[in-house]
Copies of this chain bind each other. A is one copy, B any other.
């Protein structure tokens, strides 16, 4: 048990990363992982990625070239891009991990938040001891609880445990009891159904609003679950530069450039559909479209 999945990332960094060692990531990848691993003086190499996951040829090339410490992926409703890996790409990843004996870190906070489509295979179930899976209650109940976890083989779990002891001794047991009481008897399952219904409507509202307001070549992902859409503006627009103007209009987003471990693409941004009312989503997208269209 860890203090949220962020601490799980920190423990993985503590256990695996030697200064200058290489970690392979998707492109884009989760900025919290970039922050956690950067402290340990990692060298990131990003693997070519499309909306079904990493491209197996590029992955194998980079495994051979860099002998990475591990491959870090967010295969389900990826943060930031929102897509999920296809089963074919999952199989290819696990095959390569086994062939070259490289651990895969399967950062998995969102897979229970699927609104539609078929659930793909679990990397952990497919890959066994080669896969270290990270989970959290942050996206299922509340991030304020700081209760996450690492699922790994006993030798790796023991190393994480030793590192954890030096870092903060152990994870809040009081909150673990509270979550246990909330979850038993189906409380957590009912809660997940409830938030899936709410988030699903908000996702639909956001996609409709994007369609209604953007006709300039802007594109976005349409994920089957999770919390985010990933937006790509026409070439020449800087999501980072436009943020100040958006904030003046009281709309916030995360510029996409912070989600790249190597070369940032500043025409991208992440927008979150789960935490605003449908009315605010419509109005927010309208204002964003105005700010972006006025930009040169």
Residues of A within 8 A of B (CB): 2-4, 6-7, 10, 14, 32, 35-36, 38-39, 142-146, 163, 165-175, 178
Please determine whether A36 and B145 come into contact, CB atoms closer than 8 angstroms: no
From B38, B144, B168, A173 is in contact (CB under 8 Å) with B144
Bound-complex Cα distance A165 to B165 (A): 19
- Assuming the contacts A146-B171, A172-B3, A175-B172, asked whether A166 and B14 have C-beta atoms less than 8 A apart, the reply is no
Bound-complex Cα distance A10 to B172 (A): 17
Ranked nearest first, the 7 interchain pairs of A and B with the lowest CB-CB distance are A144-B173, A7-B168, A3-B168, A35-B166, A146-B172, A6-B169, A10-B167
**Which chain B residues border A7 with CB–CB below 8 Å?**
167-168
- Assuming the contacts A175-B174, A175-B175, asked whether A169 and B39 have C-beta atoms less than 8 A apart, the reply is no
Show 11 A/B contacts (Cβ-Cβ < 8 Å), sorted by A. A3-B3, A3-B171, A4-B169, A6-B169, A10-B166, A35-B165, A36-B166, A38-B166, A39-B167, A146-B171, A167-B167
Bound-complex Cα distance A38 to B145 (A): 29
**Which chain B residues border A168 with CB–CB below 8 Å?**
2-4, 6-7, 10, 146, 168
Please determine whether A39 and B10 come into contact, CB atoms closer than 8 angstroms: no
Bound-complex Cα distance A10 to B167 (A): 6
**Which chain B residues border A174 with CB–CB below 8 Å?**
142, 144-145, 175, 178
**Which chain B residues border A175 with CB–CB below 8 Å?**
172, 174-175
Bound-complex Cα distance A175 to B145 (A): 8
Bound-complex Cα distance A74 to B10 (A): 28
**Which chain B residues border A173 with CB–CB below 8 Å?**
144
With most chain B CB atoms within 10 A of its CB, the pick from A36, A145, A168 is A168
Bound-complex Cα distance A165 to B3 (A): 12
